[in-house]
Amino acid sequence: MNAFTYSYPTKVYFGEKAAEKHLPAELAKVGPNVLLAYGGGSIKRNGIYDELLCILKDAGKTVTEFTGIMPNPTYAKVQEGAALAREKNIDFILAVGGGSVIDCCKIVSAQALTEDDIWSLEYEKHGAPDSFIPMGAVVTAFGTGAEMNNGAVITNNEKMQKSPLWGAFYSFAILDPVYTMTMPMQQVISGAFDSLSHSMETYMGSPREVNYADEINEATQRNIIRNIRKTLGAPNDLQARSELLWAAAMAENGMLKIGKTTDFQCHMLEHQLGAYTDCNHGQGLAVIHPALYRHMLSEATGQFARMATEVWGVSPEGKSEAELAKAFVDALAAFIREIGLPTTFSEMRISSDTDFKAIADSTILTGGCAKRFTKEELLEVLLECK
């Protein structure tokens, strides 16, 4: 296990009616001008907007709305939000939605109080923002666990890059599983697979030998797999939704990463696919993971073999470690088919004429991956996914 320091700034309020019970007390701690951020307006159709607006008004807040945050939030949208926050002298940001809204606001919070362009600051000057507008998150769509860290994935259309940026942590997060009942089932499964991907990418990092965090990770993966199946069989099973909501948070609150250098090569490759195609994140991961992992069989044999037995329940009897490793990849691919996620880019309606070489060439290579990929090998993976 690597050396580590663990501390966490985000307070979590989990359970039914969590906003009603806890949001008023949190709002009492902040200034009067609140930026209410959300996406395409589904929170107005399902009643969440009215509930939260009532709480904000009862708390005496002046509300400015920042709307239209798209599924793959753009850098232009970040700048729009930052300008609005400055214009309205915003004291507090309340982000309502899934990972896209929550990610976007992390960078809005920083950019609003930073003279430097955040992208240039982080990628060219290798600096980091140090002033932030305080924030709270109300999670309505699980999967990314975005409320549990200060990283954001933002698409810079001018640079053709979908890349991580680092902003503010949320002071608190409200996780009410009832809110997730409004999600379309396709989004539920896509988001839940993203949680599984986060767990696998953390597990596959170094050191390669299993530590305590990895054993918690194995349980988290089993939980996600089981509750995806339960949710598909019983869409109104609130217990299964609750488990998936907390598993998403666990995958990104640092607990599974303690003592690890994480992998996330699949995420980096999918991010660039998204930069060029604006595709669904969870679906892209589902297509790429098996192909990428087949390229890693010889380098990640031990970890794959353990996931086969400890996560997927493959019997080790009569099987070599290499056979178990292959069985893991086969089990993962079969599960993706079982839950109705796409297995090829063509199923995602991604054109075969897409510039896959440009995607591979612009992908960040991660140091924690068991296999040190080259850009040429990543292109091979992408072409196998067509």
> What are 157-188's pLDDT values in tens digits?
999 999 999 999 999 999 999 999 988 999 99
Q: What is the predicted pLDDT for the residue at 6?
A: 83
Q: If you average pLDDT over residues 48-57, what whole number do you get? A: 97
Examine residue 145 and state whether it is found in any structural domain, yes or no: yes
Tokens of 379: 């292109």
| Domain final residue, candidates 122, 146, 179 | 179
Looking at the structure, tell me whether residues 267 and 221 fall in a common domain: yes
| Confidence check: pLDDT of 4 > 90 | no
Looking at the structure, tell me whether residues 196 and 79 fall in a common domain: no
Q: What is the predicted pLDDT for the residue at 3?
A: 87
Examine residue 151 and state whether it is found in any structural domain, yes or no: yes
Examine residue 118 and state whether it is found in any structural domain, yes or no: yes
User: For residue 37, what are the CA distances in angstroms to 9, 54, 181, 182?
Assistant: 21, 15, 20, 18
Q: What is the predicted pLDDT for the residue at 158?
A: 96
> What are 292-322's pLDDT values in tens digits?
999 999 999 999 999 999 999 999 999 999 9
Return the CATH number at 266: 1.20.1090.10
In the chain, the amino acid numbered 369 is C
Looking at the structure, tell me whether residues 275 and 322 fall in a common domain: yes
| Confidence check: pLDDT of 1 > 80 | no
What is the C-alpha to C-alpha distance for residues 14 and 19, in angstroms, rounded to an integer? 9
> What are 80-91's pLDDT values in tens digits?
999 999 999 999
Torsion of CA 93, 96, 101, 105, to 10 degrees: 10
Tell me the whole-structure pTM to 2 decimals.
0.95
Looking at the structure, tell me whether residues 117 and 235 fall in a common domain: no
Examine residue 5 and state whether it is found in any structural domain, yes or no: no
Looking at the structure, tell me whether residues 145 and 207 fall in a common domain: no
Do the bridges between strand 161-166 and strand 151-156 make them parallel or antiparallel, or are there none, so unpaired? antiparallel
In this structure, are residues 95 and 138 in contact, taking their beta carbons and an 8 Å threshold?
yes
| Domain final residue, candidates 179, 212, 232 | 179
User: For residue 162, what are the CA distances in angstroms to 155, 246, 273, 347?
Assistant: 4, 26, 8, 22
**DSSP assignment letter at 149:** S
Looking at the structure, tell me whether residues 129 and 255 fall in a common domain: no
Looking at the structure, tell me whether residues 23 and 125 fall in a common domain: yes
Of all residues in the chain, what percent carry a pLDDT higher than 70? 100
User: For residue 80, what are the CA distances in angstroms to 64, 76, 292, 329?
Assistant: 13, 6, 36, 42
Return the CATH number at 91: 3.40.50.1970
Looking at the structure, tell me whether residues 138 and 222 fall in a common domain: no
The domain of 85 spans: 11-179
Looking at the structure, tell me whether residues 108 and 242 fall in a common domain: no
What is the C-alpha to C-alpha distance for residues 15 and 98, in angstroms, rounded to an integer? 17
| Domain final residue, candidates 145, 179, 213 | 179
- Closest C-alpha among 100, 43, 35, 93 to residue 69: 100
Q: 2 pLDDT band (50/70/90 cuts)?
A: confident
DSSP-based three-state secondary structure for 4 = coil
Q: If you average pLDDT over residues 28-42, what whole number do you get? A: 96
Looking at the structure, tell me whether residues 103 and 62 fall in a common domain: yes
Strand partners, 64: 35
For the beta carbon of residue 360, count every other beta carbon within 10 angstroms: 22
Q: What is the predicted pLDDT for the residue at 80?
A: 98
Q: Per the structure, how many domains does the chain have?
A: 2
What is the C-alpha to C-alpha distance for residues 52 and 18, in angstroms, rounded to an integer? 11
Looking at the structure, tell me whether residues 197 and 311 fall in a common domain: yes
Looking at the structure, tell me whether residues 206 and 351 fall in a common domain: yes
